[in-house]
Amino acid sequence: MTYSEISHHRLVSQQLDQSSTLSPQEIVQHLGAMQAQDYAMAKWAVGSRCQSTEREIEEAVNSGKIIRTHILRPTWHLVAAADIYWMLDISGPQVQKIIFPAAVKYGLDQKKLDTFNSSLQKILAGNNHLTREEIMQELNIKKTSSLDFMTAVIMMNAELSGVVCNGKMKGRQITYALLEERVSKPKTRLTQEEGLAKLMQRYFESRGPATLADFSKWSGFSSTVCNSIINAITLQLNYITIDNQQYWFKKDHTKTLSSRESVHFLAGFDEFLISYKNREASLPIEHQQKVFTNNGIFKPTILENGQVIGTWKRTIKKDHVKIETLFFNAIKISKKEMLFKGIKSFENYLETKIVIE
C-alpha cells in the first residue's frame, strides 16, 4: 500500500469520500472525539462529513447531543453524549495530571479545586447556563489578565472531573452547564482497560490505516500503554506492514477505492491531519510549515484526491462569506474553477452566498 492509497483509505474511514447521511452526533460518535478549540471550524469539520447545516450542528451542541469539553489532551473536543462518561473515566485523570502544575502555580491545590467543583455544582444547578465571566463573578474571582489562565484551569479541572461541560451558546459566548443535567450518567462503567480498548478500536476504525504511534499522539496515552492495549483488539482489526510499521484499520474495510476526482475544503484542526503523528501520506514535509505552526495552529486546507494542495480562509461579510485561497504551486485558471466547485458544500452548510477571491 502506497502513501496515496493510505490517504484514500483514510478519506473513506473518516467519512470524507462522499456526503454521509449520518447525523451530526453520529459523525462525532464515529470519530470518537474531534478537536474543537476553534468552535466555528469544529462545526465545519462535522458539516464537511454530512449533509447538515451549521444551524443544525449548533443545535445538536446546544441540545446536548454533542458535548464540547476538554477530554483528550488539554484542549477542547467534541464528543457524542453517549461517549462522554466512559471517555472522561479513562482520559480525565491523565489530563488533570498535565494541568495540575499550572494549578499549583496559581496556588490551587487539590482541596481548593474540589471546593470550586462543589461551588460550581450549586451555582449551575437547575440548568443554569453561565459564561465563564459570570461564573467567576459568582465565585468572587475578579477578572484580570493575570488571572485569566487560572480561571481556565478551574473550569478545565471541573470539565475533566465530570462536573461541567458546555452549555447553550449565549450569542457568540460559550457557557458552562452541569454535565449530569445535560447527559444522564450510565448505569454501568467500563474498566480502564476496557475503555482504552474501546477508544483504540474506535480510532483505528474511523482513521485507519494508522499506526500505534499515531494513536498515541492523538489520544495522549504513552506508547507503553498503547502497546499493552493493542493485543486486546487485534482480532477486531486488520493491519498491513509498511517499512516495518504496522498500519491498523477496520476489519471489514472492503469498500473499493473511488477513482473519481475529489476536492475538500477542510476545517482548521481537521481530524484528517491532526489525527496522525506522521502526516506525509497527505502532506509532504516540504509543505507542512505552510499548514501548521510550531505552536500547534492548523490552518484550513484544500484537499485534492487526498492530498493537501493549499490553504484557505473565510471572512464573514454582511451578506456573504469571502473565501481566499493560497495554493502551494501555480494552478491554471481552468483547474481553479474545477477546484472551487468543492466549496459548494460549504455554501450549503452556511446557507449563504460564497465569494471566492
The percentage of the chain sitting over the pLDDT mark of 90, rounded to a whole number, equals 84
Examine the pLDDT at 334 and tell me if it is beyond 60. yes
- The single-letter DSSP state of residue 127 is T
What are the residue ranges spanned by the domains of the chain?
Answer: 3-182, 192-250, 263-356
Q: How far apart are CA 234 and CA 238, in angstroms?
A: 7
Neighbours of 122 (CB within 10 A): 11
Give CA 148 to chain center in angstroms. 24
Q: Assign a CATH topology to domain 192-250.
A: Arc Repressor Mutant, subunit A (1.10.10)
Closest CA to 302 of 328, 333, 334: 328
Tens digits of residue pLDDT in 226-248: 999 999 999 999 999 998 999 99
- The single-letter DSSP state of residue 146 is G
Name the pTM for this structure.
0.95
DSSP string computed for 225-286: HHHHHHTTTGGGEEEEEETTEEEEEETT--PPPP-S--EEEEPTT-HHHHT-S--TTTS-HH
Tens digits of residue pLDDT in 130-161: 999 999 999 999 877 777 889 999 999 999 99
CB 10 within 8 A of CB 49: no
Find all residues with CB under 8 Å of 168, minimum gap 6, and list them.
62, 129, 175, 177
Examine the pLDDT at 109 and tell me if it is beyond 70. yes
Q: How far apart are CA 45 and CA 80, in angstroms?
A: 14
Predicted pLDDT at 170:
94
Question: Which cell numbers in the block locate residue 236?
Answer: 477486531
Mean pLDDT over each residue of the chain, to the nearest integer: 93
Q: How confident is the model at residue 200 (pLDDT cuts 50, 70, 90)?
A: very high
Q: Considering only 39-48, 253-262, 295-304, 332-341, which range has the smallest mean pLDDT?
A: 253-262
Sign of CA dihedral 12, 18, 21, 24: positive
Predicted pLDDT at 2:
83
Examine the pLDDT at 341 and tell me if it is beyond 90. no
